[in-house]
Amino acid sequence: MTEINISDMLTNYDKKNLTITTVCSHSSLQIFNGARKEGFKTLGIAVGEIKRFYDAFPLGKPDEFFIVDNYKDILRYTDELSEKNVIIIPHGSFVEYLGAKNFLTLDLPTFGNRKVLLWESDRRKERKWLEEAGLTMPQEIKNPEDINQPVIVKYHGAKGGKGFFIAKTYDEFQRRIEKNKKFTIQEFVMGTRYYLHYFYSPIQDNAYKLSKGSLQLLSMDRRDETTIDEVQRLGSIAELEELGIHPTFVVTGNIPIVMRESLLPKVFEMGAAVVEKSIDLFGGVIGSFCLETVVTEELEFKVFEISARIVAGTNPYISGSPYSELIQPDLSTGRRIAQEIKYASKKDLLGEILS
């Protein structure tokens, strides 16, 4: 990875005139709305044309659009963008559209620690990080012939659960697998899913204290995935599978949720351990991150994935969640990001939270 030097990037910046910038998709309405609430200017990078639906949401619309022909063009316009003092807020679609390699070398100040991408995008490294932090992940089945329980087969690089399938036997696996694609087989964890939205600040000590900085829990959601979440309206999965209709895991939306309060200490222990380990491994997962979990009937958490930036599951909480209301009224993840940038800018600590 080419080293990007954040102080070089900020040299010519007018720190009193920062512009919160992201790609118009994913959680951009929330990011622009949160930035606006904290008094920032906002810039939306859009491909091809201004998206008309932003006019329908004046409080989520960026002050200005920056139109590019395709996402990769962002790399060509870094000079123009840095003249506008942009701070990039990456979200899942931003990284995907730009491409991981390009994102790592993008010559613009970016919220969070970009090095995390090398750990979350490689399933082996991700497992090392989370397991060394003491979290329990679903068991991995190395040899498909060993399948003797329901498993989920995940293709590498597939986004939003695309193409994933469930198999209960080796035979079923063989019938469904696309042989030319790389895959991982995981135990299918039975339980209820919770996607936990944390915020780690390395520069503020006013929340759950860590060796450096502190941790907040801003919200949680459950993803709505088609067709698995509704398929039973047509009949049992077994019945449908006999007809060749298999459930799929494509994310279509997010549902707000809260968890029984007695589980919250564990939620904080897990988040804290993930942050502490990340500090050892690559200097820390900074800002928003999400642990994707299943809680079993023994009330144990199994963590199947980490997303190391704002997730779309925070979108139901533009005006706050049952958790963020206990921190400050009207606090979304987008707004919390803007607050962190504002605080760091005031204290001359931008180098601690940008990369």
* Cβ distance to ligand ATP smaller for residue 118 or 158: 158
Cβ nearer to ligand ATP, comparing 88 with 311: 311
Q: Candidates 25-33, 34-42, 183-191, 318-326: pick the segment binding ligand ATP (CB under 6 A).
A: 183-191
Among 30, 186, 278, 345, binds ligand ATP (CB under 6 A): 186
Helix ranges, the chain (H): 6-10, 28-37, 78-83, 92-98, 100-105, 116-120, 123-132, 170-176, 237-242, 264-282, 333-346, 350-353
The DSSP element (H or E) to which 67 belongs, if any, is strand 64-68
Distance CA 354, CA 109 (A): 6
**Using an 8 Å Cβ cutoff, are 147 and 265 in contact?**
no
Of 307, 315, 324, 332, which one interacts with ligand ATP (CB under 6 A)? Answer: 307
CA 325 to chain centre: 21
How many angstroms separate the Cα of 313 from the Cα of each of 214, 222, 224, 283, 319?
A: 22, 7, 10, 26, 14
Residue 269 is a binding residue for ligand ATP (CB under 6 A): no
Residues 201-240 that bind ligand ATP (CB under 6 A): 223, 225
Residue number, 214 or 278, with CB nearest to ligand ATP: 278
Residue 141-180 contact track with ligand ATP, rule CB under 6 A, x = bound: -----------x-x---xxxx--x----------------
238-257 residues in contact with ligand ATP (CB under 6 A) are 249
Please identify, using beta-carbon distances, which residue of 316 and 351 lies nearer to ligand ATP. Answer: 316
Structure tokens at 117: 């991408």
* CB under 8 A, 24+ apart: contacts of 98-106: 98/23, 98/71, 98/72, 98/74, 99/72, 102/72, 102/75, 104/1, 104/2, 104/4, 105/1, 105/2, 105/4, 106/4, 106/74, 106/75, 106/78
Binding of residue 106 to ligand ATP (CB under 6 A): no
Whole-Å CA distances, 333 to 200, 315, 328: 11, 8, 12
Q: Is 160 left (phi over 0), alpha (psi -120 to 50) or beta?
A: left
23 to 42: interface string for ligand ATP, x by CB under 6 A: --------------------
In the list 97, 304, 317, 323, the residue contacting ligand ATP (rule: CB under 6 A) is 304
Q: State the minimum distance, in angstroms, from the CB of residue 190 to ligand ATP.
A: 8
292 binds ligand ATP (CB under 6 A): yes
From the CB of 278, what's the least distance to ligand ATP, in Å? 18
The CB-of-117 to ligand ATP minimum distance in angstroms stands at: 12
Give the number of residues in contact with ligand ATP, rule: CB under 6 A: 21
Question: Residue 183 interacts with ligand ATP (CB under 6 A)?
Answer: no
How far apart (Å, rounded) are the C-alpha atoms in residues 119 and 132? 13
Residue 313 binds ligand ATP (CB under 6 A): no
Task: Give me the least distance between CB of 113 and ligand ATP, in Å please.
Answer: 18
Q: State yes or no: cis peptide before 227, omega within 30 of 0.
A: yes
Query: Is the CB of 161 or the CB of 253 nearer to ligand ATP?
Result: 161
Amino acid at residue number 144:
P
Tokens 């209709």 correspond to what residue? Answer: 245
Q: According to the binding rule CB under 6 A, does residue 116 interact with ligand ATP?
A: no
The residue ranges that bind ligand ATP (CB under 6 A) are 138, 152, 154, 158-161, 164, 186-189, 193, 223, 225, 249, 292, 294, 304-305, 307
